[in-house]
Amino acid sequence: MRRAAGSRVSVEGVRLQEFWSRLDRHFGSMRAQSMARDHVFAVLGGRTAVDALDAGLPVRKVWLAICEEYDVPSKER
């Protein structure tokens, strides 16, 4: 489930859109949605990516956690 940043319609909203776009490009839309919703990342405090974003963690931190866990090449980070 894609979630907007609530009432925060600023740079953070753009970053969140870019996050989902990158996730879809790298993993494919079906896998990206499942991974973001279901995979628990220790580095994000035992949260899923969606839970971490909902908790207010920076989008960049969540993206980098995914990159580390799934060995995303550094040029795509």
Each of the 77 residues of the chain gets a pLDDT tens digit; together they read: 444 444 444 566 789 999 999 999 999 999 999 999 999 999 999 999 999 999 999 999 999 999 999 999 888 88
pLDDT score of 75 = 85
CA distance 13 to 35: 21
pLDDT score of 9 = 45
Matching residue, tokens 């609530």: 6
Whether the model pTM is above 0.85: no
pLDDT score of 77 = 84
